[in-house]
Amino acid sequence: DAKTTQPNSMESNEEEPVHLPCNHSTISGTDYIHWYRQLPSQGPEYVIHGLTSNVNNRMASLAIAEDRKSSTLILHRATLRDAAVYYCIPRNNTDKLIFGTGTRLQVFP
């Protein structure tokens, strides 16, 4: 399983963009990169995933480095509801999600 490194915490102001980095230098060529988040007292929630190309959905954008050893989750305009722990999870044809310690994002009004 690929190891990940994420900042323990980050802060943002409302309405500002947030870039959440993840280092996964041991990722294999067929690992998808998933991002989940966990809001306080709730279950995890899928955010986005990608393989090689950058991806966009209604929640966020995922920028994947050309060598795939790192990726960045981009929240274009943070809201108070985006305050959560964000997990970057490389995944290769396995059904289990292996959660690291994630990044705790605080959003200030």
Partner 1 sequence: NAGVMQNPRHLVRRRGQEARLRCSPMKGHSHVYWYRQLPEEGLKFMVYLQKENIIDESGMPKERFSAEFPKEGPSILRIQQVVRGDSAAYFCASSPIGGTGYNEQFFGPGTRLTVL
Residues that bind partner 1 (CB under 8 A): 30-32, 38, 42-46, 49, 51, 91-102
The phi and psi torsions of 12 (rounded to 5 degrees) equal -150, 160
Nearest approach, Cβ of 66 to partner 1 (angstroms)? 20
Exposure string of 30-68, with b = 16+ CB inside 10 Å and e = fewer, is: ebebbbbbbeeeeebeebbebeeeebeeeebbbbbeeeb
Nearest approach, Cβ of 106 to partner 1 (angstroms)? 17
* Closer of 49 and 69 to partner 1 (Cβ): 49
* Closer of 16 and 83 to partner 1 (Cβ): 83
- Contact in structure between 21 and 102 (CB atoms under 8 Å): no
* Closer of 50 and 75 to partner 1 (Cβ): 50
Nearest approach, Cβ of 13 to partner 1 (angstroms)? 27
